[in-house]
Amino acid sequence: MSMKGKVAIVAGGARDIGRAISLKLGAVGAKVVVNYHSSKAEAETTVAAILAVGGTAIAVGGDMTKQADVENLVSKTIAAYGDRIDVLVNVVGGMVARKTLAEMDQGFFESIMRLNVSSTFLTSKFVSPFMREGSAIVNLASLAGRDGGGPGASAYATSKGAVMSFTRALAKELGPRNIRVNCVCPGMIATTFHDTFTKDVVRANVAASTPLRREGQAQEVADLVAYLASPAASFVTGASVDINGGLNFS
């Protein structure tokens, strides 16, 4: 899984799963661009951790739902590492709030689509022209995109289902250029996402009903992402890979 000398952008790479992915890619030799929006301090901590073990990394701020910010991310990457990008990982996304259909208005629904789907579209659109043969895009979807999510998560689940469909479409479109596109569908992972949006009793019940009897860890997701981004997965594209401890089988 060596990625020595390759250039990797992790959109939303400052904290939680994004940080674990940034650290993993740095550990296997990639030159990492850690994108952040509101998490500047966390991004700087992530970069410092990569540098501390002899890796190469920079932090670039920007809102990935805005074209100008995405273009700036690309230009900063090119300026730092040269005219190539080998890996794009799209971690940007979120639930924002749990709302039922009755509670949602059009603005809220569309804001979730922008956050989770438009961000993936924009980064893919503006990064892919700089990708060479053998490059890879890895998107972050969710178990919610397969099973509809929990109470009040219909907008989030819909957006993550769209990410999976977009992944399959891009795999067909970019395949002739030998650019692979896959996505990862995490289940219950111990992150601030669930600290914020999932009650402790629900987390405990989910863990108890999972065949492996626990929540997953961000590092485990990062290991899977690194595999899909690496030459070791050279014949894997268009896949939506589950990582949920056996809670759901697709």
Each residue's pLDDT, cut to its tens digit, for the chain (250 residues) gives 799 999 999 999 999 999 999 999 999 999 999 999 999 999 999 999 999 999 999 999 999 999 999 999 999 999 999 999 999 999 999 999 999 999 999 999 999 999 999 999 999 999 999 999 999 999 999 999 999 999 999 999 999 999 999 999 999 999 999 999 999 999 999 987 777 777 889 889 888 999 999 999 999 999 999 999 999 999 999 999 999 999 998 8
Q: What is the CATH number of the domain that holds 65?
A: 3.40.50.720
- Residue 69 included in any domain: yes
Domain range for 124 = 7-238
For residue 134, give every residue at least 6 positions away whose Cβ sits within 8 Å of its Cβ, in sequence order, or none: 86, 178, 179, 231, 234
- Residue 249 included in any domain: no
- What is the Cβ-side half-sphere exposure of residue 125, based on CA atoms within 13 angstroms? 15
- Residue 243 included in any domain: no
- Residue 246 included in any domain: no
- Residue 200 included in any domain: yes
Q: Indicate the number of domains in the chain.
A: 1
- Residue 250 included in any domain: no
- Active-site residue (options: 36, 81, 156, 227): 156
Residues 1/82, Cβ–Cβ less than 8 Å: no
- Residue 137 included in any domain: yes
For residue 73, give every residue at least 6 positions away whose Cβ sits within 8 Å of its Cβ, in sequence order, or none: 9, 11, 33, 35, 60, 62, 64, 123
- Residue 171 included in any domain: yes
- 156 belongs to the catalytic site: yes
Label residues 139-168 b or e (16+ Cβ within 10 Å = b): bbbbbbbbbebbebbbbbbbbbbbbbebbb
Q: Which two structure tokens, joined as six digits, stand for 181?
A: 């596109």
